[in-house]
Amino acid sequence: MTHPTAVTFLNPAQLSPIRSLSLRAKIIVEGLIAGMHRSPYHGFSAEFLEHRPYLPGESIRSIDWRSYARTDRTVVRLFEDETNLYARILLDKSMSMAFGSEGVMAKFDYGRTLAASLAWIFVRQRDAVGLVTFGEHIDVSLPPRSTNIQLQTIIACLQKSSPSGATRCAAAIDGAARAIRKRGMCVLISDLFDDPASVVQALRHLRFKRQDTIVIWLLDPMEREFRRDAPLAVLDMESGEKVHLDGETAAEYYEKGMRAHRALIESACREMAIDCEMVFTDEPFQRALIRVLEKRRRLY
Partner 1 sequence: MSAPALFRPAMLWALAFVAVPIIIHFFQRRRTIRLDFSSIRFLKESAVIASRRKRLRRLLLLLARIAMLAVIVVLFAQPYNPFDPFGALRNPQGRTYVWVDPTISMDYRDDGVALWEIAGRCVALLDSMLPKSRKLFVFDECGGRFADRDEPRQAACPPVRHGPTNLGEMLREFNRRRRGDGHVPALVLISDFQAHDTAILDTFLFTDTLGFPVLFVTVAPRRPYNYAVEVVSPPSRQQSYVRCAVRAYGRELRPAGLSVLSGTLRTGHEQTGCGRDTAVEVQVETSVPEPMQPAEVRLEADDPFMHDNTAYFVTESNRPVRVLVVAENESAFPVVAAYRSLSQEQGYDTRTAGALSVGFDDLDSAEVIILAGLSVPSRPLQALFSGHSLERKVILFSPGMDGKHAALNGQVLGSLGRKDAGYRMVSGKTLFPVLPDTVSMLWRGFPRREDKSVCIDAYLAPMPGTALVRLSDGGVMAAYAADSAGHCWILFSTPICIDKANNLGETGFFVPLLDRLTRFGLSMVGRGPRQWIAGVLQRNPFFGTGAGADIFDAEGRAIARWSSQAMVGFEKPGAYKIQPASQSAYWVAVRCSPEESSLSYTRPAAPKNAQRYVKVMDAAGLREFLRGMRGGSRLNLLWIILGVLALAEVFLWEKKRMP
Indicate whether 249 belongs to the interface with partner 1 (CB under 8 A). Answer: yes
Which CB atom, from 248 or from 266, has the smaller least distance to partner 1?
248
Residue 63 interacting with partner 1 (CB under 8 A): no
Which residue lies nearer to partner 1 by CB, 18 or 234?
234
Torsion, Cα 179 277 192 157, to 10 degrees, reads -50
Interface segment toward partner 1; rule CB under 8 A; list 81-89, 216-224, 271-279, 286-294: 216-224
Smallest gap from Cβ 239 to partner 1, in A, equals 8
State the DSSP code for 11: P
- Segment 146 to 205, residues that bind partner 1, using CB under 8 A: 167, 191, 193
Q: How far is CA 275 from CA 72, 81, 110, 235, 289, in A?
A: 40, 22, 19, 32, 13
Q: Candidates 140, 171, 237, 264: give the one binding partner 1 (CB under 8 A).
A: 237
Under the binding rule (CB under 8 A), the answer on residue 244 touching partner 1 is yes
Q: Which of residues 29-48 bind partner 1 (CB under 8 A)?
A: none
- Closer to partner 1 by CB, 64 or 220: give it: 220
Determine the Cα–Cα distance for residues 295 and 208; give it in Å rounded to an integer. 22
**Cβ proximity of 111 and 91 under 8 Å:** yes
Among 160, 162, 231, 271, binds partner 1 (CB under 8 A): 231
Chain centre to alpha carbon of residue 157: 16
- One-letter amino acid for residue 291 of the chain: R
> How far, in Å, CA of 70 to CA of 65, rounded?
9
Q: Does residue 96 bind partner 1 (CB under 8 A)?
A: yes
Alpha-carbon distance of 296 to 103, in angstroms, equals 30
Give φ, ψ of 53 to 5 degrees.
-70, 145
| Closer residue to partner 1 in complex, CB, 63/166 | 166
Q: Which C-beta is closer to partner 1: that of 194 or that of 277?
A: 194
- Which is nearest to 21 in space by CA: 149, 151, 126? 151
Q: Report the interface residues with partner 1, using CB under 8 A.
A: 95-99, 107, 167, 191, 193, 220, 222-223, 227, 229-239, 241, 243-250, 252-254, 256-258, 261
